[in-house]
Amino acid sequence: MFEGATLMGMNLKSCIAERHLIAKSKTDGSNKDVVVRIGTPYWVVDGEVGACPVEYSGLLETYADRKGIDLLQALQIATDVNSVLEAMSDEFEFFWPSGEAYEFS
């Protein structure tokens, strides 16, 4: 499913977490299946800068790897899914696959 996917020129070897959502367009009412995937953190600069791949499949064409002071901070920033979705809430309403509204809190 996520094995071997390419994001921002990097070959993602593994998905450590994913979330499935539905994005409903506030413009035309159409639905998009969205899958948020978090990859394995890695070192950009050994011991100095960490990064973590993140993908918003079905919603964003590309999304840069999130960077942090170390691997833990990069992972923490990458998993802040709500801030990305909330920034898009003028265009979309978000729902769980069950149809229940997705809350940002």
Q: Residue 100 domain-assigned?
A: no
Count: domains in the chain: 1
Q: Residue 19 domain-assigned?
A: yes
- Structural domain of residue 31, as residue ranges? 6-95
Flag whether pLDDT at 38 surpasses 70: yes
Q: Across the strands, what pairs with 56?
A: 36
Question: What three-state secondary structure class fits 3?
Answer: coil
Q: Residue 23 domain-assigned?
A: yes
Q: In terms of Cα–Cα distance, which of 43, 30, 74, 81 is closest to 60?
A: 81
Q: Across the strands, what pairs with 32?
A: 23
pLDDT digits (tens, 9 = 90+) for 47-103: 889 999 999 999 988 888 999 999 999 999 999 999 999 999 999 999 999 999 999
* pLDDT (mean) for 7-22: 74
pTM of the shown model: 0.82
